[in-house]
Structure 1
């Protein structure tokens, strides 16, 4: 099949491209960085250099494809840009995809959405996923869409490193012994590749998770990996976390979104629909990720 992969060689798109090429598919990877071209081609894929803001480029690249994997890939550096509305920027990319899909005539779409996309409000920084699913659902009925809803990514735990180094603590506005789902990007890539080889039929939703584990268990696992078995997870107030993020230089609007998202984790509000549609868990566990965490921690 002819498959278009967005997201350049990111944490999901790279292993996805590798798997699709190994299965004999004709893969084109979209990247905004010309320097990625040779690395993409070494994987056995083709390269399309352009941006998610360029609808004409997307339309031309999408034409003739059997499947498009669409994700919004704004650099996390924008969290600290006070001029950018993170949620609105992502929604606009979703609208660009919709327009390009309509103009190109592609009928099978896999969209990377997220946990929390079932919530109109109360999901904080994840609000754009609800809005983009709504935009995609405006596509004609003959366009089949699989919405992939992964849970929190393991690599988000890298954000814990500064306070672990300075205070021997993981500090968040949620915590305790209540288990919540986390996921490896490699397991997401495998789930997407699996869905590409299944029939497309209307609109479908699939949650993706690797392990269900509590904050206290995460602290214990990461602590063991970095030689700090006494590492603890400290739960602070929403207000204190907000002040910490703003003081660190984060866009205040984005910081509020993070705090609200984390607050929704308490009592599993964020995971209400996930637990109603619980998936088979992936292969890669937090103990596996902890080895990568330790490498980043010590480097």
Structure 2
């Protein structure tokens, strides 16, 4: 297959390029930064430089690649992840306007299928607070655009709702490791969160599987076998890193210091990978967060 990957240098970008190339696909990898061209070329991809918010430039890049399949992984997040609502604003634009531009370009290029990488954690109840609501609305706009295009027969649209990415390659995991080693990442008393996670390599493999196995119009939760509380996440990370046991703090403290991040990570969202396993022929190599962190521990040793 000829793949056009939009968003090739974000959290999942590099592992996904590697997985696509290893599967024998011809990959054109989009980046906004000319400085990243050599990195993408070294991974075996043909680089394309354009801003996804520039509809004309993106159209030229996609049409020139003549893709059979387009993968949407466009984000503009801080390396360690969003800590404030405003950190999501550039990504919200990409999920709304960038999706519109990419869909138009993919259809113009004659692509058969477009796979959109969504975010399962933002599938929250409708009463989410306003600062969280903007991110949810952007994700829902992206999904609805892709699924509506599929319903209308313009292109085969697939949506993959990823859990929280983690893995030795991810900046978010590296940031958390640095914090637990300095005992700066506490656990919260009375935590009742339940967060869906997915190792970054498992997320990449699921995306490759969806290229030819997912029926048009399908939506999948790409998560591991067992959601984890924020408390278990922090304690397991500290254990695997050989760090001191984290402090325990009252619930009001993180709400005061980091209100947005606390709201996003205190939800209960037990997503299921049953459908993805059944229809994509995919299973996570790291079934739980603890399994994935054991891999991190062994590779980091």
Q: What is the TM-score normalised by the length of structure 1?
A: 0.76
Aligned 1:18-57 pairs, distance under 5 A: 18-57=18-57
CA RMSD of aligned residues (A): 3.3
Q: How does 1:173-192 map to 2 (within 5 A)?
A: 175=191, 180-192=195-207
For residue 58 of structure 1, report the CA deviation from its aligned partner. Answer: 1.5
Identify the match of residue 122 of structure 1 among 118, 128, 139: 128
2: CA distance, partners of 1:260 / 1:231: 24
C-alpha contact 1:219 1:233 (8 A) present in aligned 2: no
Match of 1:240 in 2: 253
Displacement of 1:217 after TM fit?
A: 3.8
Note the alpha carbon deviations across 1:116-163, whole angstroms, 9 max, x for none: 454444282741312322333443611221111111122544444465
* Conserved 8 A contact 1:91-1:131: no
SS of residue in 2 equivalent to 1:36: helix
SS at match of 1:148: strand
- 1:1-299 aligned within 5 A: 1-63=1-63, 64-76=66-78, 79=82, 85-94=86-95, 95-105=97-107, 106-119=111-124, 120-122=126-128, 124=132, 126-127=135-136, 128-139=138-149, 141-142=152-153, 143-154=155-166, 155=170, 156-161=172-177, 163-167=179-183, 170-172=186-188, 175=191, 180-198=195-213, 200-201=215-216, 203-212=217-226, 213-228=228-243, 231-232=245-246, 234=248, 236-237=250-251, 239-245=252-258, 255-256=259-260, 258-263=261-266, 265=267, 268=268, 270-271=269-270, 274-275=271-272, 279-280=276-277, 282-284=284-286, 285=288, 286-290=290-294, 292=296
Match of 1:249 in 2: none
Partner of 2:280: none
The alignment covers a number of residue pairs equal to: 275
Check whether the contact 1:215–1:233 (CA below 8 A) recurs between aligned residues.
no
Post-superposition offset of 1:98:
1.7
Q: CA deviation at 1:4?
A: 0.6
Q: Which runs of 5+ in 2 are unaligned?
A: 278-282
1:156-194 superposed Cα distances (whole Å, 9 cap, x missing partner) = 444444653444653458736x76431111100000001
Can you give the 5+ residue segments of structure 1 that lack an aligned partner in the other structure? 246-254
Distance apart, 1:14 and its partner CA: 1.5
